[in-house]
Structure 1
């Protein structure tokens, strides 16, 4: 099987813990290059994961004609700069979420990729999960009737004090880091943006939100409640959809793999569906590879990324970020 030669810009935690191991498993991916702002760290990753080459700068990796696609796990505030630079060098791009600090910038980033003729996808790995896709089909089939209300929560334990997620200049905060998951989830499930958004948040001394609550109102009258943050003693993620004929309960951690389940509750009858789910990051890497090799369309579409960014903009405005 033909494989894409991947380069990774930076030695971020998500790259080391999730995406690079997924690249090792992906059938159509080859670990080719790893770059850091210091050669020592890049060489440590090269040895740890088996990259063919290490570079002492992001520019050096992008200048290598052997690199076909790059994964960008840099701080949120640097995404736009390096997606543009990668596209200008003819590299296909998978960039971590959230793509940027404004929908306007997201539109420009995507325009740059389109003009350069490269494949681009925002890295919402969980949207590649078969169980998320199955739940969407189940809801659309009318299994719980007409959806009238939904709720979602995603909380993580507070990052270490020096973590960039506590810094406003790097676009830190709970809405950017974890709130973007349920926001994107319901944009995917409902395929529409809310007409009304109300939100409130608690801010730290550094000026970033560690807790936020949101209300979304839709044209057909359904309502959505989202709560998120970086302030709990243990991670918590779940979502429920309430319909005219039943409830869908999904205690599914984002990007989880293995045996996952959701339930349909209709009166006293509970029907539980269990699925074996592969590593979402592996599915994401393989899908972008197929986009390059076989002409597939990115599962996380350009339009989706733009619409999701517009909703995040509205939430941040509402909370006064």
Structure 2
């Protein structure tokens, strides 16, 4: 039996443009794509050549070919997918951060450790030149006191990639980083 299968949980740009190809480049096979949107899962599956798509995470996690789960979804859903994959005995690669709360992150890490599994965190934007420039400007005080930062990746028509989906897609991927005046913020 094949022991290098993956589920891809989420249909974001990083997965479609980089991670599915990276999974295949190491000789592994993505078998499932999971999304809360049936259409996004279907179009992502077609665009990336992943044979199965669903909105039901348990379908993918019950597949005996799936050993690894790549979590590429909105921050609010990452904990759910990490916990589900952990409960199913799957090793996990997740885009960082894994949670908006350090308490929740510690709980997820402890849960994965107790299960004897691996949780690896992918920080896909850390080395981005735009992020490095923002970091430098922040550290040098060039832009003053940071109150809010929004980084937009893609556009309303850039995802999903499928032509049929492009006609109906209206979403864009936004990452927001907020800093309150009382919290400590670590620049990238």
* TM class by smaller structure: 0.5 to 0.7
Task: Give the C-alpha shift of residue 118 in structure 1.
Answer: 1.3
Confirm or deny that 1:318 pairs with 2:151: no
Change (3 A) 1:317 1:94: same
CA distance in 1, matches of 2:73, 2:123: 15
Contact 1:86–1:92 under 8 Å retained in 2? yes
Task: Give the C-alpha shift of residue 315 in structure 1.
Answer: 9.2
Change (3 A) 1:104 1:316: farther
Q: Deviations over 1:134-171 (max 9, x none)?
A: xxxxxxxxxxxxxxxxxx8444xxxxxxxxxxxxxxxx
* Residue number in structure 2 paired with 1:201: 146
Contact 2:90–2:117 under 8 Å retained in 1? yes
Q: Deviations over 1:220-253 (max 9, x none)?
A: xxxxxxxxx639xxxxxxxxxxxxxxxxxxxxxx
Change (3 A) 1:84 1:54: same
Change (3 A) 1:56 1:316: farther
Contact 1:9–1:72 under 8 Å retained in 2? yes
CA distance in 2, matches of 1:315, 1:124: 25
Task: Give the C-alpha shift of residue 32 in structure 1.
Answer: 1.2
* Residue number in structure 1 paired with 2:4: 4
Change (3 A) 1:153 1:82: same
Task: Give the C-alpha shift of residue 61 in structure 1.
Answer: 1.7
Change (3 A) 1:314 1:121: farther
Aligned residue for 1:8, secondary structure, equals: strand
Q: Deviations over 1:57-82 (max 9, x none)?
A: 22322232321101001111221221
CA distance in 2, matches of 1:316, 1:99: 23
Change (3 A) 1:317 1:126: closer
* Residue number in structure 2 paired with 1:230: 151
Change (3 A) 1:28 1:314: farther
* Residue number in structure 1 paired with 2:95: 96
Task: Give the C-alpha shift of residue 117 in structure 1.
Answer: 1.7
Aligned residue for 2:31, secondary structure, equals: strand
**Superposed CA RMSD:** 3.1
CA distance in 2, matches of 1:100, 1:9: 15
Aligned residue for 2:65, secondary structure, equals: coil
Contact 2:3–2:67 under 8 Å retained in 1? no
Contact 2:7–2:70 under 8 Å retained in 1? yes
Residue pairs, 1:89-238, within 5 angstroms = 89-125=88-124, 153-155=132-134, 200-202=145-147, 209-210=148-149, 230=151
* Residue number in structure 2 paired with 1:45: 44
CA distance in 2, matches of 1:316, 1:55: 42
TM-score for both structures, normalised by structure 1: 0.40
CA distance in 2, matches of 1:58, 1:200: 42
Residue pairs, 1:67-86, within 5 angstroms = 67-86=66-85
Change (3 A) 1:154 1:41: same
Unaligned runs of 5+ in 2: 136-143, 153-178
